[in-house]
Protein backbone atom coordinates (compact mmCIF):
# COMPACT_ATOMS: atom_id res chain seq x y z
CA UNK A 1 0.00 0.00 0.00
CA UNK A 2 2.88 2.30 0.82
CA UNK A 3 4.19 1.76 -2.71
CA UNK A 4 0.86 2.65 -4.21
CA UNK A 5 0.54 5.85 -2.18
CA UNK A 6 4.13 6.81 -3.14
CA UNK A 7 3.29 6.15 -6.78
CA UNK A 8 0.22 8.39 -6.45
CA UNK A 9 2.35 11.15 -4.90
CA UNK A 10 4.87 10.91 -7.73
CA UNK A 11 2.03 11.13 -10.22
CA UNK A 12 0.60 14.19 -8.47
CA UNK A 13 3.96 15.95 -8.96
CA UNK A 14 3.37 15.77 -12.68
CA UNK A 15 0.38 18.14 -12.37
CA UNK A 16 2.94 20.95 -12.70
CA UNK A 17 3.81 19.87 -16.23
CA UNK A 18 0.31 20.48 -17.47
CA UNK A 19 0.05 24.29 -17.44
CA UNK A 20 3.26 24.53 -19.48
CA UNK A 21 2.37 21.97 -22.10
CA UNK A 22 1.69 22.90 -25.67
CA UNK A 23 -1.07 21.13 -27.57
CA UNK A 24 1.01 18.12 -28.59
CA UNK A 25 2.54 17.65 -25.20
CA UNK A 26 -0.89 17.90 -23.61
CA UNK A 27 -2.12 14.98 -25.73
CA UNK A 28 0.92 12.96 -24.68
CA UNK A 29 0.35 13.74 -21.03
CA UNK A 30 -3.31 12.81 -21.24
CA UNK A 31 -2.38 9.38 -22.61
CA UNK A 32 0.58 8.93 -20.34
CA UNK A 33 -1.26 9.83 -17.16
CA UNK A 34 -4.92 8.96 -17.75
CA UNK A 35 -4.84 6.53 -20.71
CA UNK A 36 -7.22 3.59 -20.27
CA UNK A 37 -4.77 1.01 -21.53
CA UNK A 38 -1.34 1.90 -20.12
CA UNK A 39 -1.94 5.18 -18.35
CA UNK A 40 -0.02 5.58 -15.08
CA UNK A 41 -3.18 6.04 -13.06
CA UNK A 42 -4.84 3.06 -14.68
CA UNK A 43 -1.87 0.92 -13.72
CA UNK A 44 -2.33 1.93 -10.10
CA UNK A 45 -6.06 1.27 -10.17
CA UNK A 46 -5.36 -2.14 -11.68
CA UNK A 47 -3.38 -3.08 -8.59
CA UNK A 48 -6.27 -2.23 -6.23
CA UNK A 49 -7.91 -5.68 -6.18
CA UNK A 50 -4.66 -7.23 -4.89
CA UNK A 51 -4.71 -5.32 -1.62
CA UNK A 52 -6.89 -5.67 1.46
CA UNK A 53 -10.26 -3.94 1.66
CA UNK A 54 -9.30 -1.44 4.33
CA UNK A 55 -6.27 0.07 2.49
CA UNK A 56 -8.06 -0.25 -0.83
CA UNK A 57 -10.48 2.41 0.41
CA UNK A 58 -7.71 4.90 1.20
CA UNK A 59 -5.74 4.30 -1.96
CA UNK A 60 -8.91 4.29 -4.08
CA UNK A 61 -10.07 7.63 -2.68
CA UNK A 62 -6.62 9.18 -3.25
CA UNK A 63 -6.51 7.79 -6.80
CA UNK A 64 -9.95 9.19 -7.63
CA UNK A 65 -9.05 12.61 -6.22
CA UNK A 66 -5.89 12.68 -8.35
CA UNK A 67 -7.86 11.63 -11.40
CA UNK A 68 -10.24 14.56 -10.93
CA UNK A 69 -7.33 16.96 -10.44
CA UNK A 70 -5.50 15.73 -13.54
CA UNK A 71 -8.64 15.94 -15.64
CA UNK A 72 -9.40 19.43 -14.38
CA UNK A 73 -5.84 20.63 -15.04
CA UNK A 74 -5.86 19.16 -18.56
CA UNK A 75 -9.25 20.69 -19.31
CA UNK A 76 -8.04 24.08 -18.01
CA UNK A 77 -4.91 23.95 -20.13
CA UNK A 78 -6.92 22.91 -23.16
CA UNK A 79 -9.19 25.90 -22.68
CA UNK A 80 -6.23 28.22 -22.25
CA UNK A 81 -4.58 26.96 -25.44
CA UNK A 82 -7.85 27.38 -27.32
CA UNK A 83 -8.15 30.98 -26.16
CA UNK A 84 -4.61 31.51 -27.39
CA UNK A 85 -3.29 32.44 -23.96
CA UNK A 86 0.46 32.78 -23.78
CA UNK A 87 2.55 30.20 -22.02
CA UNK A 88 4.74 31.49 -19.26
CA UNK A 89 7.73 33.09 -20.97
CA UNK A 90 5.97 33.08 -24.33
CA UNK A 91 5.68 36.53 -25.94
CA UNK A 92 8.72 37.73 -24.05
CA UNK A 93 11.58 38.58 -26.34
CA UNK A 94 14.61 37.53 -24.34
CA UNK A 95 16.95 39.10 -26.90
CA UNK A 96 15.41 42.56 -26.47
CA UNK A 97 17.94 45.06 -25.04
CA UNK A 98 17.22 46.13 -21.45
CA UNK A 99 15.70 49.53 -20.78
CA UNK A 100 18.40 52.15 -20.26
CA UNK A 101 18.86 53.37 -16.71
CA UNK A 102 17.37 56.76 -15.89
CA UNK A 103 20.16 59.28 -16.13
CA UNK A 104 20.07 62.47 -14.14
CA UNK A 105 20.35 65.79 -15.91
CA UNK A 106 20.77 69.42 -15.02
CA UNK A 107 17.58 71.38 -14.59
CA UNK A 108 16.95 73.90 -17.37
CA UNK A 109 17.38 76.82 -14.94
CA UNK A 110 20.71 75.38 -13.73
CA UNK A 111 21.85 75.04 -17.35
CA UNK A 112 20.91 78.67 -18.02
CA UNK A 113 22.66 79.85 -14.81
CA UNK A 114 25.83 78.00 -15.88
CA UNK A 115 25.64 79.43 -19.37
CA UNK A 116 25.18 82.99 -18.07
CA UNK A 117 28.09 82.61 -15.63
CA UNK A 118 30.17 81.17 -18.49
CA UNK A 119 29.55 84.24 -20.66
CA UNK A 120 30.54 86.57 -17.82
CA UNK A 121 33.55 84.42 -17.06
CA UNK A 122 34.83 85.14 -20.57
CA UNK A 123 34.29 88.85 -19.82
CA UNK A 124 36.49 88.59 -16.72
CA UNK A 125 33.93 87.91 -13.96
CA UNK A 126 34.47 85.37 -11.17
CA UNK A 127 31.58 83.30 -9.83
CA UNK A 128 30.87 83.91 -6.12
CA UNK A 129 28.30 82.54 -3.67
CA UNK A 130 27.10 83.38 -0.15
CA UNK A 131 24.60 82.36 2.54
CA UNK A 132 20.82 82.36 2.02
CA UNK A 133 20.14 83.47 5.60
CA UNK A 134 21.41 87.02 5.95
CA UNK A 135 21.42 89.90 8.35
CA UNK A 136 19.08 92.84 7.76
CA UNK A 137 22.24 94.92 7.51
CA UNK A 138 23.72 92.96 4.57
CA UNK A 139 20.38 92.43 2.84
CA UNK A 140 18.99 95.97 3.21
CA UNK A 141 20.85 98.71 5.10
CA UNK A 142 24.27 98.26 3.50
CA UNK A 143 22.47 98.50 0.14
CA UNK A 144 21.06 101.90 1.02
CA UNK A 145 17.49 100.75 1.67
CA UNK A 146 15.77 103.30 3.95
CA UNK A 147 14.51 101.96 7.33
CA UNK A 148 10.89 102.36 6.22
CA UNK A 149 11.29 100.54 2.88
CA UNK A 150 8.35 98.12 2.38
CA UNK A 151 10.75 95.21 1.63
CA UNK A 152 11.80 95.29 5.31
CA UNK A 153 8.25 94.45 6.34
CA UNK A 154 7.46 90.90 7.50
CA UNK A 155 4.64 91.11 4.93
CA UNK A 156 7.19 91.09 2.13
CA UNK A 157 10.18 89.09 3.40
CA UNK A 158 10.72 85.90 5.40
CA UNK A 159 12.29 86.72 8.77
CA UNK A 160 13.93 83.83 10.62
CA UNK A 161 13.81 85.73 13.93
CA UNK A 162 15.56 88.86 15.15
CA UNK A 163 17.39 90.62 12.35
CA UNK A 164 18.00 87.45 10.31
CA UNK A 165 16.13 87.27 7.01
CA UNK A 166 16.11 84.91 4.03
CA UNK A 167 17.92 87.04 1.45
CA UNK A 168 15.54 88.77 -0.95
CA UNK A 169 18.26 89.16 -3.62
CA UNK A 170 21.90 88.08 -3.98
CA UNK A 171 23.19 91.64 -3.39
CA UNK A 172 24.41 90.85 0.16
CA UNK A 173 27.07 88.62 -1.44
CA UNK A 174 28.32 91.67 -3.31
CA UNK A 175 28.65 93.55 -0.03
CA UNK A 176 30.55 90.57 1.41
CA UNK A 177 32.78 90.53 -1.67
CA UNK A 178 33.60 94.25 -1.42
CA UNK A 179 34.39 93.83 2.27
CA UNK A 180 36.62 90.81 1.68
CA UNK A 181 38.53 91.83 -1.45
CA UNK A 182 40.00 95.19 -2.44
CA UNK A 183 39.14 96.44 -5.97
CA UNK A 184 39.44 95.66 -8.81
CA UNK A 185 36.45 93.33 -8.34
CA UNK A 186 34.44 91.56 -11.01
CA UNK A 187 31.95 88.97 -9.78
CA UNK A 188 28.76 87.22 -10.86
CA UNK A 189 26.62 85.82 -8.07
CA UNK A 190 23.97 83.21 -8.81
CA UNK A 191 21.79 81.98 -5.98
CA UNK A 192 18.41 81.29 -4.45
CA UNK A 193 16.37 84.15 -3.03
CA UNK A 194 13.09 84.41 -1.14
CA UNK A 195 10.17 86.81 -1.12
CA UNK A 196 6.65 86.60 0.29
CA UNK A 197 5.05 86.35 -3.14
CA UNK A 198 2.14 84.24 -4.31
CA UNK A 199 2.97 81.07 -6.28
CA UNK A 200 1.40 81.68 -9.70
CA UNK A 201 2.26 81.67 -13.41
CA UNK A 202 4.76 84.52 -13.03
CA UNK A 203 5.75 84.53 -9.30
CA UNK A 204 7.35 82.14 -6.86
CA UNK A 205 8.33 82.76 -3.23
CA UNK A 206 11.61 80.94 -4.01
CA UNK A 207 13.50 82.02 -7.08
CA UNK A 208 16.94 82.20 -8.58
CA UNK A 209 18.80 85.42 -9.20
CA UNK A 210 22.07 86.35 -10.82
CA UNK A 211 23.68 89.62 -9.91
CA UNK A 212 26.92 91.05 -11.10
CA UNK A 213 29.31 93.72 -9.90
CA UNK A 214 32.37 95.42 -11.36
CA UNK A 215 34.31 97.92 -9.25
CA UNK A 216 37.54 99.50 -10.40
CA UNK A 217 39.15 102.86 -11.12
CA UNK A 218 37.58 104.69 -14.05
CA UNK A 219 34.52 102.48 -14.60
CA UNK A 220 31.73 104.38 -16.35
CA UNK A 221 28.26 103.85 -17.70
CA UNK A 222 29.87 102.92 -21.04
CA UNK A 223 31.33 99.80 -19.40
CA UNK A 224 27.90 98.91 -18.05
CA UNK A 225 26.22 99.26 -21.45
CA UNK A 226 28.95 97.44 -23.37
CA UNK A 227 29.14 94.56 -20.90
CA UNK A 228 25.39 93.99 -20.67
CA UNK A 229 24.75 94.45 -24.40
CA UNK A 230 27.51 91.92 -25.14
CA UNK A 231 25.91 89.54 -22.67
CA UNK A 232 22.46 89.91 -24.32
CA UNK A 233 23.90 89.16 -27.76
CA UNK A 234 25.66 86.10 -26.40
CA UNK A 235 22.70 84.64 -24.54
CA UNK A 236 20.16 85.38 -27.31
CA UNK A 237 21.66 86.04 -30.75
CA UNK A 238 24.34 88.23 -32.33
CA UNK A 239 21.79 90.50 -33.97
CA UNK A 240 19.65 91.01 -30.86
CA UNK A 241 19.01 94.72 -30.31
CA UNK A 242 19.00 96.14 -26.79
CA UNK A 243 17.81 99.37 -25.21
CA UNK A 244 18.29 100.98 -21.80
CA UNK A 245 15.48 102.79 -19.98
CA UNK A 246 15.95 104.97 -16.88
CA UNK A 247 14.87 103.26 -13.66
CA UNK A 248 15.33 103.41 -9.91
CA UNK A 249 17.00 101.13 -7.34
CA UNK A 250 18.14 102.24 -3.88
CA UNK A 251 21.63 100.78 -4.46
CA UNK A 252 22.42 102.32 -7.87
CA UNK A 253 22.51 105.86 -9.27
CA UNK A 254 21.80 106.32 -12.08
CA UNK A 255 19.80 103.14 -12.69
CA UNK A 256 18.60 101.57 -15.93
CA UNK A 257 16.58 98.65 -17.11
CA UNK A 258 17.74 96.76 -20.16
CA UNK A 259 15.29 95.43 -22.73
CA UNK A 260 16.07 93.05 -25.58
CA UNK A 261 14.08 92.89 -28.77
CA UNK A 262 11.20 90.44 -28.37
CA UNK A 263 12.58 86.99 -29.15
CA UNK A 264 9.26 85.87 -30.62
CA UNK A 265 8.28 88.73 -32.97
CA UNK A 266 11.72 90.43 -33.27
CA UNK A 267 10.31 93.87 -32.75
CA UNK A 268 7.03 93.76 -34.65
CA UNK A 269 4.86 93.51 -31.54
CA UNK A 270 3.05 90.40 -30.33
CA UNK A 271 1.09 89.23 -27.26
CA UNK A 272 4.31 87.99 -25.57
CA UNK A 273 5.80 91.51 -25.53
CA UNK A 274 2.40 93.18 -25.14
CA UNK A 275 2.79 94.77 -28.55
CA UNK A 276 5.93 96.74 -27.64
CA UNK A 277 8.48 94.63 -29.53
CA UNK A 278 10.72 94.66 -26.38
CA UNK A 279 11.23 92.42 -23.36
CA UNK A 280 12.77 93.53 -20.08
CA UNK A 281 15.54 91.20 -18.93
CA UNK A 282 17.50 92.98 -16.22
CA UNK A 283 17.93 95.96 -13.93
CA UNK A 284 21.27 97.73 -13.57
CA UNK A 285 23.05 100.90 -12.59
CA UNK A 286 26.18 102.60 -11.30
CA UNK A 287 26.85 101.48 -7.73
CA UNK A 288 25.61 104.16 -5.31
CA UNK A 289 28.56 105.85 -3.51
CA UNK A 290 26.99 105.06 -0.13
CA UNK A 291 27.01 101.31 -1.04
CA UNK A 292 30.71 101.53 -1.93
CA UNK A 293 31.38 103.17 1.44
CA UNK A 294 29.37 100.44 3.23
CA UNK A 295 31.52 97.87 1.45
CA UNK A 296 34.70 99.61 2.61
CA UNK A 297 35.53 101.08 -0.81
CA UNK A 298 36.62 104.70 -1.37
CA UNK A 299 34.06 106.25 -3.76
CA UNK A 300 36.46 109.09 -4.64
CA UNK A 301 38.87 106.60 -6.16
CA UNK A 302 36.59 103.81 -7.38
CA UNK A 303 33.35 103.56 -9.32
CA UNK A 304 31.42 100.50 -10.38
CA UNK A 305 28.35 99.11 -12.06
CA UNK A 306 26.02 96.33 -11.01
CA UNK A 307 23.03 94.48 -12.36
CA UNK A 308 20.50 91.83 -11.40
CA UNK A 309 18.38 89.40 -13.38
CA UNK A 310 16.24 86.29 -13.05
CA UNK A 311 17.49 83.20 -14.90
CA UNK A 312 13.94 81.78 -14.85
CA UNK A 313 12.89 84.73 -16.90
CA UNK A 314 15.76 84.29 -19.36
CA UNK A 315 14.93 80.58 -19.74
CA UNK A 316 11.24 81.45 -20.16
CA UNK A 317 11.96 83.98 -22.91
CA UNK A 318 14.40 81.71 -24.70
CA UNK A 319 12.25 78.61 -24.75
CA UNK A 320 8.78 80.17 -24.67
CA UNK A 321 7.83 78.47 -21.38
CA UNK A 322 4.30 79.68 -20.57
CA UNK A 323 4.27 79.24 -16.79
CA UNK A 324 7.17 79.41 -14.30
CA UNK A 325 5.54 76.72 -12.16
CA UNK A 326 6.82 74.24 -14.76
CA UNK A 327 10.32 75.00 -13.46
CA UNK A 328 9.41 73.90 -9.95
CA UNK A 329 7.14 70.91 -10.44
CA UNK A 330 9.70 68.26 -11.48
CA UNK A 331 7.44 66.95 -14.26
CA UNK A 332 9.68 64.68 -16.38
CA UNK A 333 7.63 65.39 -19.51
CA UNK A 334 8.80 69.00 -19.22
CA UNK A 335 12.31 68.48 -17.85
CA UNK A 336 13.49 65.80 -20.29
CA UNK A 337 12.94 68.22 -23.19
CA UNK A 338 16.04 70.03 -22.00
CA UNK A 339 18.49 67.22 -21.35
CA UNK A 340 18.96 63.59 -20.50
CA UNK A 341 15.98 61.76 -19.13
CA UNK A 342 15.06 58.12 -18.97
CA UNK A 343 13.57 55.98 -21.68
CA UNK A 344 12.73 58.99 -23.79
CA UNK A 345 16.44 59.48 -24.19
CA UNK A 346 17.15 55.91 -25.32
CB 332: neighbour CB atoms within 10 A? 13
Q: If we measure between CA atoms, which residue out of 324, 235, 237, 331 comes closest to residue 282? A: 235
Q: Give least dist CB 304 to ligand 2NL, A.
A: 8
Distance CA 178, CA 180 (A): 6
* Site membership for ligand 2NL, residue 306 (CB under 6 A): yes
* Site membership for ligand 2NL, residue 324 (CB under 6 A): no
* Site membership for ligand 2NL, residue 309 (CB under 6 A): yes
* Site membership for ligand 2NL, residue 194 (CB under 6 A): no
Distance of CA 75 to the CA centre of its chain: 53
Distance of CA 59 to the CA centre of its chain: 67
Contact 173, 128 (CB under 8 A): yes
Which listed range, 7-15, 68-76, 258-266, 306-314, lies at the site for ligand 2NL (CB under 6 A)? 306-314
Among 251, 302, 327, 338, binds ligand 2NL (CB under 6 A): 251
Among 157, 168, 174, 204, binds ligand 2NL (CB under 6 A): 174
* Site membership for ligand 2NL, residue 281 (CB under 6 A): no
Total binding residues for ligand 2NL by CB under 6 A?
21
Among 249, 278, 327, 338, binds ligand 2NL (CB under 6 A): 249
Q: Any residues with CB less than 8 A from the CB of 68 and at least 6 apart, and which? A: none
Phi, psi of 148 (to 5 degrees): -100, 15
How many CA within 13 A on the CB side of residue 137? 3
Distance CA 298, CA 122 (A): 27
Q: Give least dist CB 245 to ligand 2NL, A.
A: 12
CB 208: neighbour CB atoms within 10 A? 23
Contact 123, 229 (CB under 8 A): no
User: By C-beta, is 1 or 129 nearer to ligand 2NL?
Assistant: 129
Q: Using CB under 6 A, which residues numbered 120 to 149 contact ligand 2NL?
A: 143
* Site membership for ligand 2NL, residue 191 (CB under 6 A): no
* Site membership for ligand 2NL, residue 236 (CB under 6 A): no
Which listed range, 109-117, 129-137, 225-233, 277-285, lies at the site for ligand 2NL (CB under 6 A)? 277-285
Indicate the length of the chain as a whole number. Answer: 346
User: Where does this chain bind ligand 2NL (CB under 6 A)?
Assistant: 143, 171, 174-175, 209, 211, 213, 249, 251-252, 282-285, 287, 291, 306-310
Amino acid sequence: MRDLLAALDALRERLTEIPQADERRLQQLRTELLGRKAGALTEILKALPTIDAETRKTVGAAANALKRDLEAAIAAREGALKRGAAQPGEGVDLTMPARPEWRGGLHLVTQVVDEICGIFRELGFTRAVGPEAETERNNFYALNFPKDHPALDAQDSFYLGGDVVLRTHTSPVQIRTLEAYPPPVRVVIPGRCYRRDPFDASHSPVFEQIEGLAVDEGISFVDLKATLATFARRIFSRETRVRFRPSYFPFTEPSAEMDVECQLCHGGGCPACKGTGWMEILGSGMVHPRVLVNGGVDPERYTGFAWGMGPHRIALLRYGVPDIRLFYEGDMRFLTQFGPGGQADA
